Structure 1
């Protein structure tokens, strides 16, 4: 069995080592915060994550160009749906008018 005095001395050394470790960690945090403020750190982290997300997006886009082209086409069709629908309706009206006119012309020949 160990001597209580030796055990106490060992416990104190362990406590002092832990305290020194903790104090060094606190000093490091204070030094880091002194170098850059918390808002600056948040902004930097957000920028880093945005850049990483864009890089990942570009990698995915390069791998699936067909899907990207399809999505872009769908978005463009959606954005220009009103003018496209008007043109389609005008085209149908012209065809209908031409059929009606053709029907009237053949009736006049009889």
Structure 2
């Protein structure tokens, strides 16, 4: 995810059903302040905002199984910089498509 602006941005990220979707999926999400994809377990453990596994209330109104990085776990993207966002289902028991939402909460 890129921030083309001149100021750092605080961003909320969350999963939800796609338009017309009816299935809720237990997901996880993490963000990495790096330019390469985290490939090893050690790389994946070094996420910058923690691993989001639930999303209670706003903006996730459909089900708490959806993951989010919001509230105190918002992601800061540096001015002119980027972060890598990892999104995945938590388990394979329910499959389907989902969308990644992002909103800029504030500019620092």
Question: Which category describes the TM-score, using the shorter chain as reference length?
Answer: under 0.3
Give the structure with the larger strand fraction: 2
Identify the structure with bigger relative contact order (alpha carbons < 8 Å, sequence gap 6+).
2
Looking at secondary structure, tell me which structure has more helix per residue: 1
Report the structure number with the largest CA radius of gyration: 1
